Amino acid sequence: MKCKLTFLVFTVLTISILACDRQVNQQGKRLYITYCASCHMENGEGLRQIVPALTDKDYLHRHREEIPCMIREGISGPMVIHGKEYDRQMPGLPELNNVAIHNIVNFVFQSWGNDIIKMNLDEVNRHLEECASERDMK
Amino acid sequence: MIKHTILFVAIVTLLGACVQNNTTEDKNLPILGNREVVNGDTVYHKVPDFSFINQDSQVINNATFKDKAYLVDFFFTTCPSICPKVKQQMLRIYDKFDGEARLGLMSHTIDTKHDSVPVLKRYADDLGIPSGKWHFVTGDKDKIFDIADEYFIAAIEDANAPGGFDHSGRIILVDKNRHIRAFGEGTDPESIDKFMVQIQQLLDEM
């Protein structure tokens, strides 16, 4: 009897954790569609040499730590994505809080075959703090 | 009861099919906009004369599109809202009708202050558009906003809108007589699917 109950509790917990995880992704997707997809497109392909694609795994790996700040503060200057140079300005999204940025980052990391290890919220908080203090120093 | 439902669905489907058939059978696209009857003749809304400068510093005016149908939209190069999506759909149309000499394309910037000729040139290059095929035009700001009205496009300068301008993402189809014949919603790929059929219809009519 006790065993059965433990099993039931375990199953319920597992399902709710999985459901919760999926919900985070749904949240990330919703935010991505609202804030990013108008330029980067719903499938992350971007627009020719105007808006870079979000499907360059190497770029995402190499710049992993900068991505939360790029979303918050925007980015300008040349960058190479899929071997092509882009040099336009991306406006930041200062209205998004850390949790929202966390959700977007992980949605991008896990979509379109990117398959990049997710970032946890502590990591996102730390990177956002770092770039805020760098900006204050300037 | 179930039988009745099936019958009802069948009738509705058939009626739907009929309505659709009728619209596709109607070969000519309608002329959009207000019309007036003057001395017994119907006078349709017509896009007035215009003159702008494209990304290659060439004058683009109504003579550029003589005997051609053309598509227009309004955008700005730093637009963070709907423009990239609209441009993606314009590219679909551009690719589909590539080599069709009877169809012109013209995108007007509404940010004439920032989008100078060299800025437009770089934008066209980055989109991968060779010279002469698709005109990215700038000009007198008031004239651009005035002509937007003539194409039934809403465009206003608004400091609160993303990028400083609020505008519609419609793509307008104009015939060789400068009558507006159809439009597509540039933010909606399905609307553009239908629009491309209409563009072909107009070309077939020419």
Name the minimum distance, in Å, from the CA of A49 to any CA of chain B: 5
pLDDT at B23: 47
Q: Which residue of B has its CA nearest to A87?
A: B126
Contact B49, B61 (CB under 8 A): yes
List, as own/partner pairs, every contact residues B149-157 make where C-beta atoms lie below 8 angstroms and the sequence separation is at least 24, other chains included.
B150/B45, B150/B47, B150/B48, B151/B47, B151/B72, B151/B180, B152/B32, B152/B33, B152/B180, B152/B183, B153/B72, B153/B73, B153/B74, B155/B74, B155/B110, B157/B110
Looking at the DSSP bridge assignments, the partners of residue B41 are B38
Contact B47, B150 (CB under 8 A): yes
Which of A39, A81, A89 is best to mutate for the B interface (most B CBs within 10 A)? A39
> pLDDT tens digits, residue range A44-77?
999 999 999 999 999 999 999 999 999 999 999 9
Domain extent listing, chain B: 2-30, 40-205
Q: Which amino acid is at A68?
A: P
Whole-Å CA distances, A96 to A7, A123, A126, B91: 40, 17, 16, 32
Contacts of A91 in chain B (CB under 8 A): 80, 162-163
Average pLDDT value for residue range B68-93: 94
Better pLDDT: B40 or B6: B40
Report the mean per-residue pLDDT for chain B.
Answer: 89
At residue B135, what are phi and psi to the nearest 5 degrees? -90, 125
| Interchain pair A47, B80: CB under 8 A | no
Average pLDDT value for residue range B118-145: 95
What class is the A2-137 domain?
Answer: mainly alpha
At residue B101, what are phi and psi to the nearest 5 degrees? -70, -20
pLDDT at A52: 97
Contact B152, B34 (CB under 8 A): no
> pLDDT tens digits, residue range B41-75?
999 999 999 999 999 999 999 999 999 999 999 99
pLDDT at B20: 47
Q: Tell me which residue in B84, B91, B126 faces A49 most closely, judged by beta carbons.
A: B126
CB-based contact, A51 to chain B, within 8 Å: yes
Average pLDDT value for residue range A21-44: 88
Q: For B128, left (φ over 0), alpha (ψ -120 to 50), or beta?
A: left
CB-based contact, A49 to chain B, within 8 Å: yes
pLDDT at B162: 82
- Helices marked H in chain A: 2-35, 37-40, 57-62, 67-73, 98-110, 121-137
Q: Tell me which residue in A41, A47, A91 faces B80 most closely, judged by beta carbons.
A: A91
CB-based contact, B84 to chain A, within 8 Å: yes
Structure tokens at A17: 């954790």
Burial class (CB within 10 angstroms; exposed 0-12, middle 13-18, buried 19+) of B92: middle
Confidence bin at A1 (pLDDT 50/70/90): low
State how far the Cα of A57 lies from the Cα of A59, in Å rounded to an integer: 5
Structure tokens at B156: 């206003």
Alpha carbons within 13 angstroms on the beta-carbon side of residue B170 total 15
Q: Which residue of A has its CA nearest to B128?
A: A48
pLDDT at B52: 98
CB-based contact, B108 to chain A, within 8 Å: no
| Interchain pair A48, B127: CB under 8 A | yes
Contacts of A33 in chain B (CB under 8 A): none
Q: Which residue of B has its CA nearest to A88?
A: B78
pLDDT at B2: 59
pLDDT at B18: 46
Percent of chain A surpassing pLDDT 70 = 91
Contact A108, A54 (CB under 8 A): yes
CB-based contact, B167 to chain A, within 8 Å: no
| Interchain pair B128, A48: CB under 8 A | yes
pLDDT at B165: 85
pLDDT at B67: 96
Burial class (CB within 10 angstroms; exposed 0-12, middle 13-18, buried 19+) of A21: exposed
Percent of chain B surpassing pLDDT 90 = 73
Contacts of B60 (CB under 8 A, 6+ apart): B51, B52, B53, B54, B106, B135, B137
The answer on pLDDT for B19 being more than 60 is no
The answer regarding whether domain B40-205 maps to CATH 3.40.30.10 reads yes
pLDDT at B80: 83
Q: Per mean pLDDT, which range of B9-18, B60-69, B130-139 is the poorest?
A: B9-18
Q: Tell me which residue in B78, B82, B91 faces A38 most closely, judged by beta carbons.
A: B82
Confidence bin at A21 (pLDDT 50/70/90): low
- How far is the first Cα of chain A from the last one, in angstroms, to the nearest whole number? 65
| Interchain pair A48, B91: CB under 8 A | yes
Name the minimum distance, in Å, from the CA of B166 to any CA of chain A: 15
Contacts of A47 in chain B (CB under 8 A): 84, 87-88, 127
pLDDT at B163: 84
Average pLDDT value for residue range B76-88: 91
Q: Which residue of B has its CA nearest to A35?
A: B81
Contacts of B87 in chain A (CB under 8 A): 47, 50
| Interchain pair B85, A48: CB under 8 A | no
Report the mean per-residue pLDDT for chain A.
Answer: 90
Confidence bin at A92 (pLDDT 50/70/90): very high
Q: Per mean pLDDT, which range of A129-133, B17-21, B24-28, B76-80 is the poorest?
A: B17-21
Confidence bin at A11 (pLDDT 50/70/90): confident
